[in-house]
Structure 1
Amino acid sequence: MTWEADDVVSVELVHPDGKPLPPWTPGGHIDVHLGGLVRQYSLCGDPADTGRYRIGVLKEPASRGGSAQVHGTLRPGQTVTVKGPRNHFALETAERYLFVAGGIGITPVLAQAREASALGRPWKLWHGGRRRASMAFGGELTSLAARSGNTVVFHPQDEHGHLDLAAILDEAASDEQALVYGCGPEPLLAALETVCDERGLRGRLRLERFAAVRAPAPEGGEQGFEVECARSGATVTVAPDQSVADALENAGVAVETSCREGICGTCETRVLDGTPDHRDMLLSTDEQTAGATMMICVSRCASARLVLDL
């Protein structure tokens, strides 16, 4: 465990028997089981190093318990259960990249910038934070930018105010070959979406959220519907105040979930028939329109019946 900034510690995880760990790609995350809790953390190490995973964890007073477990009780030599990795924030092929990270949102972006450098793709990274001392991996980012001939701009709020997203994205708007990647607190991501909408960049924006944004209930309120499980043969009625996952579990159908907020991807399930009403924060607009999969912890049904590959 290494202090990377004020209230930010990095943790390296290795197999207890020294075996190689499952491969991962930049933008990926793992589920870490911590004292009865399961939390998702982005991987920020080197994918070429198959012997260890590295995560960065912010000590967050308002957290749901995960960061308190890491900072307060997790110590070198302890064993934890890890699942994954999974990746819903993969670095897509582009000629250039603009990265915008806020606070601990730098963790997946660090790995993405490293991959872009290895691919020989130019990039620019804006890293915002409350204070310079609270911004993790500064030395690593500076060294990476210098070696690869790219640019990283550190923008602590107490020195420079909020990131000027309009000016930052004006640069991307003039470059049709660039993709924009953002990760950080919800106000930053919502502002990125707004400015990208104004500049016609929404199709080139890729985001990862650490917390869910609740979709408003439809006019007339939520409606119940039926879910048929094609493999198990079970048919379950989902009540207006139930999630699909809860209804299935109550009926004895085994499902795998973690965050229960539509942000981790653990419960992604193939849709065989019917029209999902997507409420997750992971699937792209095109993926939601296709309706091939859904996150059963939050998404519902826009038709009377769903058939799932369960």
Structure 2
Amino acid sequence: MRFLMFREQRLLLLLVAALVISALACSPEAALQVGFYRATCPIAEDVVLAEMKLILMEDSTLLPSLLRMHYHDCFVQGCDGSIMLKSRKRKAERDALPNHSMRGYDAIERIKAQLETICPLTVSCADIIAIAARDAVYLSHGPWYEVETGRRDGNVTVAEYAENDLAPPDSNIVDVKTFFSVKSLNSKDIAVLFGCHSIGTSHCGSIRQRLYNFTGKMDQDPSLDPAYAAQLRKLCPPPGPGDADHGEGKTKVPMDPGSGYRFDLSYYRHVLATGGLFQSDGSLLKDPVTRDYIEKVANASSPDEYYADLAAAMVKMGRTDVLYGDLGEIRPTCGVFVD
């Protein structure tokens, strides 16, 4: 109960803060720009892409996590690279429950190290994360889009913020819209960005409540397609006594069955047909704007319109509460200890 109250209070404070910041600060559009490093480190994006291609060759399963990292970074204190910071006291964002299954920290550090040898103290960790997310989409057969850069890195990281600012997989549509509206993202943005679930996997702990105890009465989410639910139940049996599976574990469940590492439109067809993997996926069918968008994309003959929408939504999300100018810092190591 205290956790829920803290989360609601945090969302309220963030809404107020967002209004104050938008009134007092210059717009992120003016602070960020495509080609920000053109004069100071012209090959920055080429270096990121080259390393991302090597990462793909070594472990293609990292690509969805690097895309997810950008979202988790932006939604917690803005797109400031603070998700990378370590804490000796295990109280950093990366220690928070929603980030326990996050992978790719070493990949970002690897890219950062390459850039430091070429352009020391020039390219921020926040920008590397944003560029790597775009490259993850592109290398998963998705669209290429221009990334605005010019972010600087934050040096504050708090685990509780991550636990309260990221929409959990069991969110209903009201919760989802609240979490996204705090970041100035609307219903269409939600429907578009959820399409990033086209690549990657999750774990049984994220869906067990939906399968076995949806309303606290040992029931299943009635909006979940029965045939799909049966498949999920085979992969994810009921938790045993004392089982504290909170989203981790060995069993991986594809978010978009049959197209788990290819960025395409099948996620929308999957959600429309089955209700999706997460309760939050299925919740998009309960809002007229998000449902209409899902139906449109699911029945589209070409991905072009969706790809354009995705580019716009990713750029918009990437402007969330950015640090620029004299704010923040450019550090040589992204995960430098903060305490």
Which TM-score bucket, shorter chain as reference? under 0.3
Which of the pair is proportionally richer in helix?
Answer: 2
**Higher relative contact order, structure no. (Cα contacts within 8 Å, ≥ 6 residues apart):** 2
TM-score, normalised to structure 2, is: 0.23
TM-score by length of 1: 0.24
Return the structure number with greater strand share: 1
